[in-house]
Structure 1
Amino acid sequence: MKTQIDSHDCRDDDIDAVIEACLEKLVQRASVQQPAELRNLLPNVDSDLRHFVLVELIKLDMAMAADAGTLHCIEHYVDAMPDLLSMETVPLDLLMEEIQLRKDFGETPSHDEYLLRFPQYEALLDQMLTRIEATRSVAKCGLPPEISVGRQVDDFLVLAKLGQGAIAHVYLARQISMHRLVALKVSHGSGDESQALAQFDHPNIVRVFDQRTVAEQALHLLYMQYHPGGTLADVVQMVRQCDSSDRCSRLLLDSVDQNLLRAAQVVPDRSAVRQWIETAPWSTVVAWMGVQLAKALDEAHACGVLHRDVKPANVLLSAECIPQLADFNVSFAGAAGRAGAAASFGGSIAYMAPEHLRAISSKLLDEPEKVQEPADLYSLAVTLWELWQGERPFACDAIAGSWSDAVSIQLAARAQPLKEPQRSETASERVLEKVLRKALSLDPEDRFVDGAEMAGRLRLSLHPETATLFDPPEKSVAMTLSKWSPWIVTCVILLLPNMIGGCLNFQYNYHHVMTTPETKEGLGVVSWIVNLTFFPFAAGVAIWYARRIVRAVDSVRRGARVDPSDLSETLELGHRAALIGGTLWLIAGVLFPLVLSGIFPDFSMTQAVHLFMSSLICGGVAMIYPYFGMALMATLVFYPRCLSGTMQDPQFDQRADQILHRSEWYLLIAAIIPLLGAALLISTEGASQLFALAALAAGIVGLLASFFAYRFIVNTWKQMDAVLSKRTSMVPGELTAAS
C-alpha cells in the first residue's frame, strides 16, 4: 500500500518523520523483490522531497540486499524507475553508498569505471574513494540479527524492541540476576561507546551499567539505565500540536505519563519535582531542562567526550521528568538512523551547528573543519528552542533532492536571521531567549565558553526576581544607572560626601568653635593646606581604583569575560574609599587641634575636643555614604552586569559573606554617628546647638538610609544566592536525580 502523506502536512519539521515512516515500511518488508516496488513506499509530497526519500530508500534497500548477500548497483534502480531517477541526477551520497558496499564485498572500485558512469563527479572521485576507505570500518561489522521478544540472551530476557540503528539494535530487557529493567544495545563490535559512557556518573547522563560479549554468537551487549518516560521528541510533538497560548508545563507531564502507561510503569503521585513542574511557566520548564542538559554536556566535555548528536530523540525522561542525555548512535531513532554511508559522519543535520555541517561537506571536498564543544551547545540550543516554540529557530523552505543537498540547505539556513519567537515579556523568557540566541551564534567563538556557563545563564531563568536583577527592563532604575559613566558615578559617590562634610565641618568650627579672628583666620589657612593635600590625594585614589570598574564594564560591553581581580576590586571600592576617607578625617581631626594649639596659645581644650568630635562625625558620614553608595551600585548595577554574560563566579559565597559582614559593621558606624551628634549637642551652648542639632538630625537620616541600604543589599544577595551559590542547589530535581 502506498504511504499517504499530504504535501500540505509536510512541513520542514515533519520531513524527518516522513523519511522515517518510509524507511520503517521498507524495513518491515525486508528489502523488495523488484526495485520498482519502491514507488509504492514514496509519500504524496513535493517532487524534490519524493526524490530525497527515494534516494534514502535505495540506500537502505542496497544495504539490506548486501546483508542478504546480493550487491545491487545504482543502474539496478535507475533502469527500473527512469522517470524518477537518472544517472545524471544520482546524488553524491548514493554514489558513496555503492562504493562502500562494494568495498565491503571485497571489490576494488576504480576511478576510471566511475568516471565513465558518472562524469559529472570527475573532480571528486579520487577524494570519495579515499574517504570511503577511511570510514568503511564504522559499519564493517553490519547489523546483527534481530532478537525476538521473549528470548533470553546471556543474562537478559528481551521484553520489547526500542530502536534500531546502523550497527545495533536496542531492546528493553530484564537483567535476570539483578531483577531490573535495562536498555540493552546489541551489536557485533564493541567500539568505544561503552568506555566513553561508563566514565560518567552524572545525574543527567544515561548510566551505563556494564558490557558483555556472547562469543558463540559474536554479539556485544551494552546494558544501561532504562527510562520509561519517553524522550523530549514526544514532548516536542505535543508542543507542535497546540497553540502558543496553550503551551504549559502540563505538556511535559502528560507526555511522560502516557509513556509510563504504555510501559506499564507507575505514575509517581508524590513527587516534589512534578509538583514544581506543574506550577512553573513553560519557558521556565524549558530553561530547567536546559540547565541539566548543559551541565551534562559540560561533564562530558571535561572528560574529552563530544556528543555530536544532541536532539530531542536523544534526551530520555525519567518518571519524574528528569532529562538524561543518551548517546547510542541510534538513540531509539528507528530505521531512519540507518541512512547509509553518509550517516557514518554522525549527527542529525537539522540540529547541527554550522561548523558541523561544513565538516560533513569537507569530508567530500577535502577541507576538514574541526567540530568542538560549542557545536554540542549549538545543538542543545536548537533542541531547547524547538521545545519552547514547537519549531526550530531557522526556516528551511527548500526541499532537498539528496542528502548532500539537505546539508547545503541546512547550512544556508544557519546564516539567515533566527525566527522571531512567540513570547511574553517576562524576565524569565527574556533570559531564555537571550541565552538561546547566544548559543546559536554562527561563529563558535561568540557562543558560551562551556556548558557550565550556559547552564548558569539558563539557571537565571528559573528565578524571575533575580532574572530582573541581571536582565533589567529597559526603563528600570538599574538599566538607567548602567548607562551612566562609571567614572562619574564612582567619583560622585566617593568624593561628594567628603566635600559636603568638609564644608559643614569648616562652617561649624569657623562660626561656633573659633572665638577670635586670629583663630578663624588660622583655621582657614590650615583648612586650605589640608584640603589641597587630602582632597587631591583622595581623588587620585578614587580614580586609581575606579579604573578597575571601568575596565570590568568595558569587558562586558566587548562581550569578554570580566577579570576576577577587576570584579573583586569593584566590590572592594566602597570599603577602600570608606577606610581611606575615614582615616583622612581622623588624621584631620587630630592634626587641626595640634596645629591650632601650637600657633595660638589661647586655643582651649574644649575647642580642641569640639574640633575633633566634629571631624569624627564628618568622617563617619564620609565613611557610610561612600560605602553604602558603592555597595548599592555594585549590588544593583556593576556586579550583575559583570556576571550577566556568564553567570559564573566561583568566589560568590565568599564575596556574599564578606559584603554582608562589612555592611553590618558600617551599619554600626552609622548608628554611632547620631550618638556623637547627641554628645556634641549636650556639650555645646547657644547658637552652636543649632548646628549640633542639624548634625544629630543628619546622623539619624544617615542611619535610616544606611538601614534601608543594608536591607536592600542583604535581600539582593540572597536572591543572587539562589542562582550563584555553590553551597545549596536551587534547581528542582537535582538532588532527586542524583539519588
Structure 2
Amino acid sequence: MTPDADPADSDNKLTDGATERPFDDLLEECLERLAEAAPVADPAELAGMLPTGGTVHAEGLLVEMIKLDMAAAAESDVAPTLDRYFNALSPSISAERAPFDLVLEELQLRKECGVEPERNEYAARFPQHHATLDRFLGVATATGGAGRQAPPEEIAAGERVDEFLVVQTLGRGAFAQVYLARQESMQRLVALKVSRAAAGEPQAMARLDHPSIVRVYDQRQLDDDGVHLLYMQYLPGGTLSPVVRRAAQTTPADRSGAMILEEVDERMLAAAQLAPEHSAARAWLAAASWPMAVAWLGAQLAHALDAAHAQGVLHRDVKPANVLLSAEGVPKLADFNVSAEADDAESAMGGSIGYMAPEHLRALTASRFDAPTEVRESADLYSLGVLLWELWQGRRPFEASGAAGDLNAAALAQLESRKVPPLTPESNGSGSDRALEETLRRAISYDTEQRPRSGAELAGGLRLAMHPAAADLFDPKPRSLRRAALWPSPWLVAALAVLLPNILAGVFNYFYNERVIIRRHPEMQANFQLLATWVNSIAFPLGGVLTLWFTRPLAQAMADVRAGRRVDAPALDAIVALCGRGAAIGGALWGFAGVIYPVVLRLWHPGFPPDEAFHFFLSLLVDGGIACVYPYFVLLLAVSLVYYPRMLRRSLHDPGFDRRFANVRREAAGFLLAAAVIPLLAVAMLASRDVLARDILQTAVAATAVGLLASFTAYQAVLSAWERMGEVLSTRRAAAPGLIDSGATR
C-alpha cells in the first residue's frame, strides 16, 4: 500500500548509453504529481511534470497524463477535447501522432458527459484511425482513465479523520494516500488508505484469511465529502521495494538475509518502532544466504497467492511495492485493488507491465475485436517469479529496449522481451542457487503449461532452495554419482538388483549342499543335478518376469518425468513398494525351492535321512533370506536417492510423504534386523556340520560380516535421504520460521 517506486531497471537504455528508468516507474511519479493539480487550467503545465533531464518516454508519459487530466475534467461535467492539449503541447504531441487509445479515451469521456461523438468529426480529426474508429463508434469503452479521481487533500499529522488520529504519512499515490493512524475505538495502529472512490480491494481481501496476506479490517464512506477510508493491518517494515533497490546496488557476494532485516529496521526506526528482541524468524533470516532468503520470502508469497486463488481471487499486480514486511521481515501480500474474480479471466485492467505475464500483456494490448486472451492464476505466479528473480539478481530477467510512445507500445516491447530466454543469472553453483534458478525459470516460462500448476507447487520449489542438502538430493550436481545413476534403464537396475544376489546365493547353495550332503549319498548325485536344473530353469525366468512386471510403474514414471509429465500418487506408491516386492520375489521362490528339493529327493530316494532333508530345507531358507535382504536394500537405495527425488523434482509436492516415510522406516528396520539375524543362523547351522570344510565356513562368515555392514550403511543412507526430503515435503514440519503452508489455512 505504500506507493514506493519500483526499483530502477537497467533494461532500457538512453541513446547516449546512460541508464533509463522503466516506463511504468516514471509514469507512477508523473501521475502522482498530476493528481495534486488535475484538471490543470493550462495543458502546458503537463510538460513541466515530466522527469527532469529528459527521457525517451516523454511522449508516452504525456499520453497517460492527458488521459488522467481529461478524466478529472469529466468528473466536473466538462466534456474534454484533445485539441486543447495538442495546441498547448505541440510539437511534443499532435493529432497526427495521437495513439488510438488516447483518441478512444476522449471519445468515451465525451459520451459520459452527454456529448454524442460524430463519425465524420472523428474521421476528419484522426484520419489515421478512421478504419478502427469506424468499428468503435457507438460501442466504445474506457481503456484506462475514466472514473479515476485524485485523492483528497493531504492530512497533516495530528489531525483526525472520523475515529482515526493520523500519526504520519506512509506514502502518496496517484489516487490514494496512506497514513499510519491510531484507531481510537480499538486503540491500535492501522494503515489508513484515503481515496475519493471505493475500489474492489475490500471485497476481495475480506474473503482472504491467510498469514501472508495483509488483513483488511473494514472500510467506510464519509458522507459529507465522498472520502473513502480503508483501514488495515499496519506493517512497520515498509515495502519490498527498498530491498530490491538495495539488492541492485549490492554485489552478489555481499547479499544476505541480514540485508533484508537492515532495511526493515531502517523503516521501523523512521516510524519510531522497536525491533522484537526474540524472534526465530529474524534469527533464521539473519543467518540465511541470499538465495535461501529470497526463497523464504517467495514461498510465503506463493502460499498467499495459492490461498487467494483457492477463493477465486486473482491479484493481477504482484510487484515489490505491493509486498509489505513485518517487524520480523515476514512478507505479506497487499493491494488487491486491481484483483479480479477467477471466472473473469479475460479482464486485464491494472497491473504493472514490468512484471506482467505474456498473456496479461497480450490482453492489455489487444484490440476490442481481437480473440480474448485468458489471464489465469498462472499469470500471478509469473509476476511473482519476475519479482523474485529481480530480488535475487538485482535486475529483472528480461530486457525491454527502446523508447515507448505510449503505454501500449511499452507493453508490446515488454511482450517481445518475454519471447527470449531469461538473462543468464550470476550463480555460485550451490544447491540453493541451482534450485532457485530452476524454480524461477519454470515460473517465468512463456508457455503457461510449463509453469507451476499452483502457488503451493511454486512454494515447494522455493522451499527446496532453503535447504541446500535437500537441493543436492533433488537436483544432483552435474557429473555426480546420483546424476550418473539416472542414465541406466530402470529395467536393468531392477533386474540386476533382484536377480544378481539370487544368482550368487543359488550358486553358493548348490555347491554347499552338493559338498555337505549329496557327496555323502553318491546315488543321489544325478537326480540332484537334474532337479537343480529344472528348479533353476523355472525359478530364475519366473523371477525375471515378476521383476519386470513390478518394475513397470518405475519405468513408466521415469518416462513421464523425461517427457515433463507429473507422477501421480498411485505410481509413487507402486515405486516405493517395488523394494519390498523385489525382496518378496526371491523369498517366495526360495521358499518354494526349499520345499521342492527335500520332498522330491525323499520321494526319489526313501533312504535319504530326514535330518539331512531338514538341513537341506534350512540351507535353502537361510540363503533365500539373505537373497531377499540384499535386493531390498539395493532397490531402496535406488528409489530413495535417485528415482523418488527425481519424480518429485518438478512438483515438490507429495501429500503422502509422511505416510511413505513411516512405512519405509518401519520396513527397513525389519529388513535390517533380518540382515543381522539370518546370517548368524546360517553360521550356526554351518558350524553344526562336522564335515563342513573350513573354507566354506570362512566364506560364509566373511560374507555375513560384509553384508551386515552394507545393510546397515544402506539403512542409514536411506533414513538420512528421507529426513532431508522431509525438510521440503513433510506436512508435519515448517521449512523455516514464519513459513506457513497455504493448505493449513483453507
Q: Report the TM-score range of the alignment, normalised by the length of the smaller protein.
A: over 0.9
1:629–1:688 Cα change, 3 Å: same
Does residue 573 of structure 2 align to residue 565 of structure 1? no
Q: Does the CA-based 8 Å contact 2:590-2:624 persist in structure 1?
A: yes
Does residue 484 of structure 2 align to residue 480 of structure 1? yes
Does residue 46 of structure 2 align to residue 38 of structure 1? yes
Does residue 727 of structure 2 align to residue 722 of structure 1? yes
SS at match of 2:165: strand
- Residue from 125, 148, 153 that aligns with 2:155: 148
Q: Does the CA-based 8 Å contact 1:613-1:676 persist in structure 2?
A: no
1:508 positional shift: 1.0
Letter of the 1:148 partner, please give it.
I
Choose 575-584 or 684-693, whichever is displaced more.
684-693
Partner of 2:689: 684
Choose 654-663 or 557-566, whichever is displaced more.
557-566
Does residue 344 of structure 2 align to residue 352 of structure 1? no
Q: Does the CA-based 8 Å contact 1:314-1:327 persist in structure 2?
A: yes
Does residue 427 of structure 2 align to residue 449 of structure 1? no
Choose 192-201 or 44-53, whichever is displaced more.
44-53
Does residue 317 of structure 2 align to residue 309 of structure 1? yes
- Residue from 414, 431, 434 that aligns with 2:418: 414
Write the distance in 1 (CA, Å) between the matches of 2:141 and 2:35. Answer: 27
SS at match of 1:80: helix
Does residue 388 of structure 2 align to residue 384 of structure 1? yes
Partner of 1:336: none
Letter of the 1:505 partner, please give it.
N
Residues 177-576 of structure 1 aligned to structure 2 (within 5 Å): 177-329=185-337, 345-514=349-518, 515-576=520-581
Choose 10-19 or 524-533, whichever is displaced more.
10-19
Write the distance in 1 (CA, Å) between the matches of 2:645 and 2:533. Answer: 41
1:418 positional shift: 1.0
1:689–1:610 Cα change, 3 Å: farther
1:131–1:448 Cα change, 3 Å: farther
SS at match of 1:133: coil
Q: Does the CA-based 8 Å contact 1:441-1:447 persist in structure 2?
A: yes
Does residue 31 of structure 2 align to residue 26 of structure 1? no
Residues 595-610 of structure 1 aligned to structure 2 (within 5 Å): 595-610=600-615
SS at match of 2:261: helix
Choose 443-452 or 269-278, whichever is displaced more.
269-278
Q: Deviations over 1:590-644 (max 9, x none)?
A: 2211110111122112321331222122111211111001100000001000000
Write the distance in 2 (CA, Å) between the matches of 1:131 and 1:531. Answer: 84
1:262 positional shift: 1.6
- Residue from 71, 96, 99 that aligns with 1:91: 99
Partner of 2:342: none
Q: Count how many residue pairs are aligned between Structure 1 and Structure 2.
A: 723
Letter of the 1:391 partner, please give it.
R
Write the distance in 2 (CA, Å) between the matches of 1:257 and 1:707. Answer: 50
Q: Does the CA-based 8 Å contact 1:10-1:45 persist in structure 2?
A: no
1:387–1:12 Cα change, 3 Å: farther
SS at match of 1:51: helix
1:167 positional shift: 5.4
Write the distance in 1 (CA, Å) between the matches of 2:53 and 2:427. Answer: 32
Partner of 1:578: 583
Choose 171-180 or 308-317, whichever is displaced more.
171-180
Unaligned runs of 5+ in 1: 332-342
Write the distance in 2 (CA, Å) between the matches of 1:372 and 1:16. Answer: 22
Write the distance in 2 (CA, Å) between the matches of 1:175 and 1:200. Answer: 22
1:328–1:641 Cα change, 3 Å: closer
Write the distance in 2 (CA, Å) between the matches of 1:127 and 1:192. Answer: 31
Q: Does the CA-based 8 Å contact 1:680-1:692 persist in structure 2?
A: no
Larger relative helix fraction: 1
Q: Does the CA-based 8 Å contact 1:93-1:402 persist in structure 2?
A: no
Write the distance in 2 (CA, Å) between the matches of 1:495 and 1:287. Answer: 44
Partner of 1:340: none
1:569 positional shift: 0.9
Write the distance in 2 (CA, Å) between the matches of 1:159 and 1:344. Answer: 36
1:62–1:163 Cα change, 3 Å: farther
Write the distance in 2 (CA, Å) between the matches of 1:209 and 1:170. Answer: 15
Write the distance in 2 (CA, Å) between the matches of 1:305 and 1:736. Answer: 18
1:451–1:705 Cα change, 3 Å: same
Q: Deviations over 1:200-247 (max 9, x none)?
A: 111101111123333344444322111121111111111122223322
SS at match of 2:191: strand
Q: Normalising by structure 1, report the TM-score.
A: 0.93
1:13–1:601 Cα change, 3 Å: farther
1:364 positional shift: 3.9
1:39 positional shift: 2.8
1:663–1:427 Cα change, 3 Å: same
1:129–1:309 Cα change, 3 Å: farther
Write the distance in 2 (CA, Å) between the matches of 1:606 and 1:127. Answer: 101
Q: Does the CA-based 8 Å contact 1:131-1:364 persist in structure 2?
A: no
Write the distance in 1 (CA, Å) between the matches of 2:245 and 2:138. Answer: 41
SS at match of 1:327: coil
Choose 39-48 or 455-464, whichever is displaced more.
39-48
Write the distance in 2 (CA, Å) between the matches of 1:346 and 1:683. Answer: 86
Letter of the 2:185 partner, please give it.
S
1:105–1:161 Cα change, 3 Å: farther
1:99–1:165 Cα change, 3 Å: farther
1:315 positional shift: 0.5
Q: Does the CA-based 8 Å contact 2:104-2:142 persist in structure 1?
A: no
1:437–1:613 Cα change, 3 Å: same
Letter of the 2:445 partner, please give it.
S
Does residue 665 of structure 2 align to residue 660 of structure 1? yes
Q: Deviations over 1:100-138 (max 9, x none)?
A: 3323323222333222211111232255456643778x9
Q: Does the CA-based 8 Å contact 1:235-1:252 persist in structure 2?
A: yes
Write the distance in 2 (CA, Å) between the matches of 1:139 and 1:39. Answer: 21
Does residue 716 of structure 2 align to residue 711 of structure 1? yes
1:126–1:327 Cα change, 3 Å: farther
Letter of the 2:184 partner, please give it.
I
Letter of the 1:279 partner, please give it.
A
Q: Does the CA-based 8 Å contact 1:227-1:316 persist in structure 2?
A: yes
Q: Normalising by structure 2, report the TM-score.
A: 0.92
1:326 positional shift: 0.6
Q: Does the CA-based 8 Å contact 1:581-1:622 persist in structure 2?
A: yes
SS at match of 1:482: coil
Q: Does the CA-based 8 Å contact 2:38-2:150 persist in structure 1?
A: no
Unaligned runs of 5+ in 2: 1-7, 340-346
SS at match of 2:728: helix
Write the distance in 2 (CA, Å) between the matches of 1:329 and 1:10. Answer: 35
1:249 positional shift: 2.2
Q: Does the CA-based 8 Å contact 2:78-2:113 persist in structure 1?
A: no
- Residue from 95, 102, 119 that aligns with 2:127: 119
Letter of the 1:433 partner, please give it.
E
1:348–1:126 Cα change, 3 Å: farther
1:15 positional shift: 3.7
Choose 33-42 or 235-244, whichever is displaced more.
33-42
Write the distance in 2 (CA, Å) between the matches of 1:736 and 1:436. Answer: 19
Q: Does the CA-based 8 Å contact 1:165-1:329 persist in structure 2?
A: no
Q: Deviations over 1:9-62 (max 9, x none)?
A: 964554433333333333445554322233333335666412122223323333
